[in-house]
Amino acid sequence: MTQPVSVAIEDGIAVVTIDNPPVNAMSHAVRAALAEAIAKIDADETVSAVVLACAGRTFVAGADIREFNQPPKPPHLPEVIEAIETSRVPWVAAIHGTALGGGLELALGCSGRIADPRAVLGLPEVGLGLIPGAGGTVRLPRLVPLEEAIAIITTGKPVGAAKAAEIGLVDRIADDLAADAKALARELATRGKPAPLSASDPVETPEVDFWEAKREEIARKVRGQLSPVEALDAIRDAVTHHAGDALGAERARFLRLKESEQSEALRYMFFAERNTGRPDDVRDAEPADIRKVGVVGGGTMGSGIAAACLLAGFSVALGEQDAEAAARAAERVAGILDAAARRGLISEPGVADALARFDTGAGYGLFADCDLVIEAVFEDMDVKKAVFAELDKVARRDAILASNTSYLDVNEIAATTADPSRVVGLHFFSPAHVMKLLEIVNAGATSPRTLATAFAVAKTLRKTPVVAGVCDGFIGNRIFSAFRRECDFMLEEGALPQQIDAAMLDFGFAMGIYAVSDLAGLDIGWATRKRQAATRDPQARYSRIADRICERGRFGQKTGAGWYRYEDGSRIGHPDPEVEKIILEESERLGFRRVTLPADEIMHRILGAMQREAQAVLDEGIALKASDIDVALVHGYGFPRHQGGPMFKAGYRP
Ligand code: 3H9
């Protein structure tokens, strides 16, 4: 086994290298070895300065999160950083890759920081339900402008090297990191070691009003997640007290949050997202090399998929029914790319490059040289079968064929092709270039190679893949339908849409289910229910409220009315007496004496419905593991990440 920390001394400069793949996390072994190295260097009079660097792809990406479930073991990270700060000689952090969390805190303990131009620096602890626990809230605001420190710590969003240099977080950007770091170390040795950040005075702080306004602003944005607000309080404490006291208070706050359910949930999510299940035989299968992706259909979904593929570097051919529809789709895709450029997600030359890889046209001919073709046409079995029959004729024999269906039987679709082993479901969520979840539907005959390719494509698209078996709605939509049904039952029993939505907002959802339905449009669901009416179990409880709303032409925001009323094209919904009247009539028809349902009972029933369906999905083998269900609900359906997902809420722990 390689040593986690090595020291090489040359011409009075010690280069200390941390080597703990894959991301150089500060595990106990690394902390212990680093503490030992610091002590040795301090005792070695031949050393005049130190460069702290990392082997592999990145600087230290943080504390070792896997150790957070056990009691902390000395030496603790704050002590190691203090030893660097108070070392006899100056230390320079040579940063490449990502200096995150405890990694950046380590760098803040050094006398100087130098970064590779592609380096990224940040304190993402709030994303784990924590605050920085090794001096980040104390040292950062003593180094960079207070507003910048607040943004970095309370949002958890990292900054690039250029921004880091601009705000003074790093002293220099390197041409040659190793050589330039040594040069900076030598300079500091000659100039004299600067005073440590934690020895500087409290920062001049703004008025009380500033902090209160900031606190309110953050609390509004994070919808019940505690850590960003705690982080602001920690910074306020840190800048108004002497560093020694502030470090102790930060540590105590960090340890308290580490024990919180929100932090446990967010840490669980961190690993659940990285370890979504894959069938055993997929691990050994070689994925196909995908360069060119075909997309059938250029509506909202098809355009979004095409844009996502272009943004990820694939060549894309988008086919529509006729030239006009193809032109409209091309405009839609260009619009998405432009919007991405405006948000800084892609450069202007990047847009031009993406468009150069993009081709649209009518018919199926342009799919002939595609490695993967994704169908994104109207959600109707006959239409989909017709598309696959055509694709089977034109696509290369080794091309993968995917359906973006959100609930139809992929086996039935695959049966229209000569080789169903190359057919898979790729269920994107709208908007497809934004939403992280990708349900990979493993149909009966899908081959391991096809599935392995789907995973590889998900990775290139930077999506979170979750494998689902074939059933009506797969994992996500099936659970969504179940809890949606429960919400409609609660309407019959006494709740109103705005009360259910308010309970969901309180829980941390960005929107309530009825507001979301109005945004998405009610007509497609209505059409589906009418189609399914003949096969519905007549004994099963069925709420007619949604149908009655649709019968009045209320299809949501696009028609100015749905579950709510929208005035003059506004997106803000108002409770509508007409909807209330329908609900009360249904309660009466069914013989319910309406009762008030408190918010906690509403959430209890929503979670219960989700958990029952989730358990069935698991028992039937539709989902491979419980945490996959949580990942699907968080990334596709707005379940608040800091609540961990329905299975986590039911007590599931891996
Ligand atoms: C902290 O620092 C607290 C301190 O303030 C105070 C302490 C006292 N620990 O994401 P990837 C694993 S809190 C353990 O696929 P990428 C990960 O699970 C920490 N393991 O790679 C995966 O394992 P596997 C603050 C970790 O290139 C493998 O490494 N830091 C850690 O897409 C590769 O990860 C953070 O929150 C960790 N800290 O992205 C940063 N990090 O191969 C968290 C990663 O078995 N990390 N692993 O599935 C990240 O954001 C991304 O991993 C990173 C690389 C951007 C670094």
Query: pLDDT for 526-585, tens place per residue?
Result: 988 888 888 899 999 999 999 999 999 999 999 999 999 999 888 999 999 999 999 999
Residue 453 has pLDDT above 90, yes or no: yes
Our answer on whether the CB atom of 582 is closer than 6 Å to any ligand 1 atom is no
Our answer on whether the CB atom of 60 is closer than 6 Å to any ligand 1 atom is no
Question: Tokens 């404490």 appear where?
Answer: 237
Nearest-CA residue for ligand 1 atom 44 is: 23
637 C-alpha to ligand 1 centroid (Å):
25
64 C-alpha to ligand 1 centroid (Å):
7
Low-confidence winner among 43-57, 190-204, 461-475 (lowest mean pLDDT):
190-204
Residue environment code for 377-408, b if the CB has 16+ CB neighbours within 10 A, otherwise e: bebeeeebbebbebbbebbeeebbbbbbbbbb
Contact 17, 53 (CB under 8 A): yes
Q: CA 15 → CA 25, 37, 84, 86, 553, distances in Å? A: 19, 10, 14, 18, 72
158 C-alpha to ligand 1 centroid (Å):
14
DSSP one-letter string for 236-285: HHHHHS-HHHHHHHHHHHHHHHHTSHHHHHHHHHHHHHHT----HHHHTS
- Give the C-alpha separation, 626 to 276, whole Å: 10
Our answer on whether the CB atom of 54 is closer than 6 Å to any ligand 1 atom is no
If one compares 134 and 201, the residue with the highest pLDDT of the two is 134
Our answer on whether the CB atom of 118 is closer than 6 Å to any ligand 1 atom is no
Helix (H, G, I), strand (E, B) or coil at 508: coil
| Predicted pLDDT at 280 | 84
How many residues belong to the chain? Answer: 654
> Count of alpha carbons within 13 Å of 40, Cβ hemisphere only?
15
| Predicted pLDDT at 60 | 98
Give yes or no: 125 in active site. Answer: yes
- Give the C-alpha separation, 227 to 221, whole Å: 12
**Ligand 1 atom, smallest distance to 72 CA:** 8
Q: Do β-strands 91-95 and 112-115 pair in parallel, antiparallel, or remain unpaired?
A: parallel
> Count of alpha carbons within 13 Å of 303, Cβ hemisphere only?
17
Of 24, 57, 65, 455, the residue with max ligand 1 atoms within 8 A of its CB, to mutate for a pocket test, comes to: 65
23 C-alpha to ligand 1 centroid (Å):
6
Residue 1 has pLDDT above 70, yes or no: no
| Predicted pLDDT at 204 | 74
The residues facing 574 across adjacent strands are: 565
What's this model's pTM, rounded to 2 decimal places? 0.94
Our answer on whether the CB atom of 137 is closer than 6 Å to any ligand 1 atom is no
Our answer on whether the CB atom of 73 is closer than 6 Å to any ligand 1 atom is no
Give residue-wise pLDDT tens across range 363-391: 999 999 999 999 999 888 999 999 999 99
Nearest-CA residue for ligand 1 atom 5 is: 132
- Give the C-alpha separation, 633 to 653, whole Å: 16
Our answer on whether the CB atom of 30 is closer than 6 Å to any ligand 1 atom is no
123-150 mean pLDDT: 97
- Identify the active-site residue in 105, 230, 273, 375: 105
- Which of 529, 581, 516, 521 is closest to 553 using CA atoms? 521
- Identify the active-site residue in 82, 85, 125, 492: 125
Give residue-wise pLDDT tens across range 231-271: 999 999 999 888 888 999 999 999 999 999 999 999 999 99
Residue 201 has pLDDT above 80, yes or no: no
Which sign, positive or negative, has the C-alpha torsion 378, 382, 385, 389? negative
Q: Which two tokens stand for residue 161?
A: 């090297």
Give residue-wise pLDDT tens across range 584-624: 999 999 999 999 999 999 999 999 999 999 999 999 999 99
Quote the percentage of the chain above a pLDDT of 90. 89
Give yes or no: 492 in active site. Answer: no
Q: Which strand (E) or helix (H) includes residue 172?
A: strand 172-173
| Predicted pLDDT at 427 | 97
Residue 38 has pLDDT above 80, yes or no: yes
Nearest-CA residue for ligand 1 atom 32 is: 274
| Predicted pLDDT at 2 | 74
∠592-594-597 over CA atoms, to 5°?
125
- Average pLDDT, rounded, for the chain: 95
**Ligand 1 atom, smallest distance to 105 CA:** 5
337-344 mean pLDDT: 94
90 C-alpha to ligand 1 centroid (Å):
28
